[in-house]
Structure 1
Amino acid sequence: MLRGFALFGILVVNSSLMAGPYTALGGGPEASIADRAAAWATTALFTGKFYLLFSFLFGYSFVLQERAARQAGVAFAPRHLRRATGLFVIGAAHAVLLYPGDILTTYAVLALVLYGLRGLSPPAALRVAAGLVLALAALLLGYGLLTVAFAEPVDPARYARLVAGTVDAYRADGFLSVPKAHLKDLPSALGADLLYAPDMLAAFLAGLAAAKCGLVERRGRDRRWLRRTVARCLPVGLTGGVLTACCAAWPMDSRWFLVGQAVSVLTAPALTASYACGLLLLLDSVRPAAAGLLAAAGRMALTHYLTQSLVLAVVFTGYGCGLYDQVGGVAVLAGDVLLYAAQLVCGARLMRLMRYGPVESLLRAVTLGRRTGGSPTGTWVSGSRAG
């Protein structure tokens, strides 16, 4: 359910980045107040929050997969290496063909680091995670303050000239123009992934610690604990989100961007935790059908993630409509809601017919080193249900 919920946040953030060079920054010089407000709210409430939830769940599932391998009596290391390799290959294809901001390749590399740290006790894992977060925040804040003190704000006209080539490349007709544009943008995307890799690894380690303590199993339906967590984390997370949006979109100028990112690194985990606990509280009060829709989406999260990129690429690039830099933030958000709703419905129907999504089945086969059953009547392989 948490994975299925996180898909919507990932979609909102990625769509704002794929829609054009201005969408995530509040729109271009002629953007409406509504579009600027949509970008501001996206930064405050979504950006930097939902990849943390995915990363936390990645670390959590790592422990479950290790236990499954142990129960099946097979070595975990080869299985984990095959899974990481499969993720890297899928991510590389995704980055070149659909979206250069892919996160799967970074996950694949960090998964190897996580394997080396798997022996940490929960307190030690949390200490390392906190150290990584604090170090990254200090780096961003230090560089951001230097930028504020010595740099000049970005001139909108100059920025428009810089991105003009990118706009033309993504609007161009023909399939070859899009991969070429992605390859051109790939170095900067990889640089961003490298910069924020400590934050992702910290979330991995938090998930690792939580799984070793059985946090979700023990607290997932403890309404008192969930309410207390929301009450403690939500004010901190919202305050940080507002400050981040002020630095990234309005009213501060471009020099404050990295200062806002430092604030986000420190406070986004609080908002992420409040989202997760709030969702569990809500789902415990509503009809089981709503929880079932999210659970089905979460079971094929990788397929949905890639499908989102495919749809967005068809809408905004030369693969299809070529609407790059032509759609405002409000319209993008409305499209996100429609696409996510369609994914929930289609995912629930597909999961009645298959045990795993199409890409999950492929990755599972690579991980286990054999062909696995994909239908509800298929055979469990190596007892690895947790994977």
Structure 2
Amino acid sequence: MNPSDRIDSIDALRGVALLGVLAINLVMEFRVSIFERFLVAARPATSLDRAVETILMLAVDLKAFALFSLLFGVGLAIQFEHLSTCPRRALLLFRRLIVLLTFGLIHLCLIWNGDILTEYAVAGLIVLPFLFGPRWLLAGGAAAFLGVYLAMQVWPPAGLFPSFTSIQRDVQEANQIYATGSFGEVLAFRLREIPLFASLHVYMFPRTLGLFLFGAFVWRSGVLRKPHQVLLFSTGAGCIGLGAFLILPGSSGSVAAMGIGKLASPVGTIALALGYAATILAIANLASGRALLGWAVPLGRMAFTNYLAQSLIFGWIFYGYGLGLFGSIGAAKALVIGLAVYIAQVFFSAWWLGRYRYGPVEWLWRTLMYGTVQPMSLAPLTRSI
């Protein structure tokens, strides 16, 4: 897809969603072990740190990733449509996902084991055949996979989640190795942790599939090409209201009375993600909204590059082979660091795309997908690819 073909509101949404992903990855996974939240004994924290963690857990955690899953499904559908006249469409999309899988495995093993790219690539390969079917198949598949995900919340498969003992042992080792270890020691421990992370991915995988398909369905329905502002704002308000009602602690009594129990949080998370998406898209489609959110468009167009750059930067800041801040600062200070990195990426993305057509990783991904070197210059193309 050429830069001129992109929809700025979707790129703006992706750029804003990247902030949520950054905040959660940084505060809950780079700063401390992701498994620490599952232990009874919590790390001492100031009132400000507790407030930051609470806000992130209620408003951002899993919601940002759900939003990214929706956007990935939209992106798949856009690519599928863009290649509609190409006889190699299936092969190119398959190659695109295999390249993503390769990037994901490199990121997972060598840079950071909190990687989401590997899961997205595998999910994309499963979703790809659905794109060749009618719109009802996308909707039906989304409902089926989301149904499986919700069923797993009520009846979790036995033995899927790591034991308390294994989590406790992992957190103890992480506090020592990530904080003081050399690159080799951190790498070895990161690889040993992968089976624990894999269990979390398996638990969330049906949701990823469902949201991919729902994102593709939304694109196929046409509501993002010719957005209806009243529909977007009303959907945003309704979904945010429902999500907040299901997730906020103060509504637990009402939720219990409704009899949905364990489904409140996962349903509320999906509702909030949909609400955030609809609201941001509605704002981004207004003239004043374009001015307000214009800074996020270049960031969203380079989301792949920025995501990987965040892993490299935060790994150096928090692990022993860099500054070694793992486990030594609170959530509030970590978030300040994250915001500084994010702001720097906003300026860098705008600077880069003022000179080149694609982000560096996006360019490499596209080049490997097509098998030919893609143009980087902003000069007009003489032909479409």
TM interval, shorter chain, is: 0.7 to 0.9
Residue matched to 2:315:
313
56, 72, 87: which one aligns with 1:42? 56
Equivalent-residue separation in structure 1 for 2:203 and 2:265 (angstroms): 14
> For residue 44 of structure 2, what is the amino acid of its counterpart?
E
Does structure 1 residue 176 correspond to structure 2 residue 184?
Answer: yes
Deviations 1:196-233 (A, max 9, x none): 111001011011111211121122xx321122112211
TM-superposed CA distance for 1:289, in Å, is 4.4
Aligned AA (1:13): I
Range with bigger deviation, 301-310 or 182-191: 182-191
Compute the displacement of 1:374 (Å): 1.2
What is the match of residue 343 of structure 1? 345
Aligned-partner Cα distance in 1 for 2:368–2:168: 44
| Partner residue, 1:225 | 231
Who is 1:279 aligned against? 280
Deviations 1:344-380 (A, max 9, x none): 1111111101110010000000111110011212747
Q: What is the CA–CA distance in structure 2 between the aligned matches of 1:286 and 1:335, rounded to whole Å?
A: 30
- The answer on 1:121 being equivalent to 2:122 is no
Q: Deviation of residue 113 (structure 1)?
A: 0.8
Partner of 1:268: 269
Q: Given the two structures, how large is their TM-score scaled by the length of structure 1?
A: 0.85
- Native 8 Å contact 1:241 1:268 kept in 2: yes
Distance 1:31 1:105, change over 3 A: same
**Aligned ranges 1:197-276 → 2 under 5 Å:** 197-219=205-227, 222-243=228-249, 262-276=263-277
Q: Distance in 2 between matches of 1:339 and 1:372?
A: 29
Identity of aligned residues (%): 27
Match of 1:253 in 2: none
Question: Residues 235-263 of structure 1, C-alpha deviation per residue, up to 9 Å, x if partnerless?
Answer: 111123325999xxxxxxxxxxxx76x43
Measure the CA separation in 1 of the matches of 2:243 and 2:296: 24
For the 8 Å contact 2:113–2:194, the answer to whether it is kept is: yes
Aligned equivalents of 1:380 and 1:59: distance in 2? Answer: 30
Structure 2 unmatched ranges of 5 or more: 1-11, 253-260
Q: Distance in 2 between matches of 1:100 and 1:110?
A: 18
Residue 90 of structure 1: which of 89, 94, 103 is its match?
Answer: 103
Q: Distance in 2 between matches of 1:99 and 1:22?
A: 12
Structure 1 pair 46–244 and aligned structure 2 pair: CA distance change class (3 A) = farther
Matched, 1:367 2:369: yes
Measured in 1, the distance between the counterparts of 2:298 and 2:36 equals: 29
Secondary structure of residue in 2 paired with 1:190: helix
Contact kept? 2:36, 2:171, Cα under 8 Å: no
Where structure 1 has 5 or more consecutive residues not aligned to the other structure, the ranges are 148-152, 247-258
1:197–1:245: structure 2 CA closer, same or farther, 3 Å change rule? farther
Change (3 A) 1:81 1:20: same
The number of residues matched between the two structures is 359
Match of 1:333 among 332, 335, 348: 335
How much does 1:136 deviate? 1.6
Write the letter of the residue equivalent to 1:6. A
Amino acid aligned to 1:19:
R
